[in-house]
Structure 1
Amino acid sequence: MIDEAQAVSDTRRWLERAVIGLNLCPFAKAVHVKEQIHWAVYLPESEGGLIDALLSEAAALVAHVAAVRDTTLLIAPNTLPDFLDFNDFTARAERRLARAGYEGVLQLATFHPRFQFGGTEPDDIGNATNRAPYPTLHLLREDSVTRAVDAFPEAEEIFERNIGTLEKLGTEGWAALDVGPGAATP
């Protein structure tokens, strides 16, 4: 069982070294530096309460102004270890968020240690763009995403640029980042 401190520590390390360090998301650094990321952890092994936790985090996110809390990472270190199960869960979670009235207000981005894009092999380095130490549900404000995309020239090219970055880095370079579970100790 991974505890809350370890889950946050490992995920923060991944964010700093991979997401920000490799500039995989050019929008992440600002919210990290301004401490506008809310780190939440769901510890149970069962996914039974995870959608409720996500809805609770969504409500808490919109209750704050963006200057205080612009985004939330809900880390689920002990549940949904299988990527296909996680992917199925994500579809259900998106429907529940929409039914709860968050469509057009919040976006859900997902990360998983075994993330795999359709049509790729499991060991394809491009999958690392969405690989985090643990299953993670990322709530983003639509307004903030729109502002960030408008301010970033050619935002639609980010994905292709990220694939190129990871291909240059290679699997050995990714491993050297040391961003997997347990890499950092609290």
Structure 2
Amino acid sequence: MSVVESSSVEKHIRAWLQSFIVELNLCPFARPLIADPALRINVCEVNNSEQLHYAFLAELDLIQRSSEGEIATSLLVMPNVLHSFEDYLDFLGDAEAMLEELALDSTIQLASFHPQYLFDGEDKNSASHFSNRSPYPLIHFLREEMVTAALENIDMPQQIPERNIALLEGMGRETVAARWNALTGDEKK
């Protein structure tokens, strides 16, 4: 994959957030943040895993030094690396280990998204995988306190993943894939 321009990547991510995450209500917490300047989208232009580790740590440091009003949540978008889902999962494991090592695992949560996302144990043709698919590999940094507060205002939050699966499966794989293809230009289902 060639190096892509940051401004087009950010526009693409914002379109995905609006048309997939918000319009399908896959994350009930996203709607108020979509236009908020406290939503940070960091298009990381590195092209190797060593640089990516430094970029991850820098993003983590920036969030820690910022108030919730400055950066409520952050998306670290990695368009030039981790194209393989297996490589992405390896890096995600390293990222989770870094959080633990820095004793930030109770302060920051990581949510994972990838263009080839597959839930372990699910049929590879299940529409449910699209709930965690994004146009580019990305890691979503969430502040634990914000997540806890948001969950208090949601009735039965533990049912969000099941609701998303039911929604996407109810729409049907072909419909979901067509929506995805329109967003990404990806002809593969």
Return the TM-score normalized by structure 1. Answer: 0.92
Q: CA deviation at 1:88?
A: 1.2
Paired residues for 1:34-73 under 5 Å: 34-73=36-75
1:135 and 1:94 map into 2 onto residues whose CA distance is: 16
SS in 2 for 1:33: coil
Greater mean deviation of Cα atoms: 15-24 or 96-105: 96-105
Aligned residues: CA RMSD: 1.5
Higher deviation after alignment, 164-173 or 14-23: 164-173
What are the equivalent positions in structure 2 for 1:71-150 lying under 5 Å apart?
71-150=73-152
**Cα pair distance change 1:78/1:122, threshold 3 Å:** farther
Give yes or no for contact 2:126–2:169 (8 Å, CA) kept in 1. no
2:161 to 154, 159, 162: 159
Corresponding position of 1:176 = 179
Partner in structure 2 of residue 18 of structure 1: 20
- Runs of 4+ residues over 3 Å off in structure 1: none
**Aligned letter for 1:180?**
T
Distance (Å, rounded) in 2 between the aligned partners of 1:166 and 1:71: 25
Task: Give, in whole Å, the separation in 2 of the partners of 1:176 and 1:87.
Answer: 25
1:18 and 1:85 map into 2 onto residues whose CA distance is 24
Report the TM-score, using the length of structure 2 for normalisation: 0.91
Which has the higher mean CA deviation after the structures are superposed, 160-169 or 118-127? 118-127
Q: CA deviation at 1:181?
A: 6.0
Q: Mark the runs of 5 or more structure 1 residues left unpaired by the alignment.
A: none
Give the distance between the partners of 2:102 and 2:55, measured in 1 at CA. Answer: 13
What is the CA deviation profile of residues 75-98 of structure 1, one whole-angstrom value per residue up to 9, with x for unaligned ones? 001111110111111001111122
How far, CA to CA, are the matches of 1:43 and 1:122 in structure 2? 30
In structure 2, relative to structure 1, the CA distance for the partners of 1:11 and 1:105 (3 Å cut) is: same
User: In 1, distance between residues paired with 2:57 and 2:102?
Assistant: 8
Across the two proteins, how many residue pairs are aligned to each other? Answer: 182
CA–CA distance in structure 1, aligned partners of residues 118 and 151 of structure 2: 25
**Separation of aligned partners in 1, 2:118 and 2:183:** 17
Which consecutive residues of structure 2, in runs of 5 or more, have no partner in the other structure? none
Moved more, 14-23 or 26-35: 26-35
Task: Report which structure shows greater RCO (CA 8 Å, sep ≥6).
Answer: 1
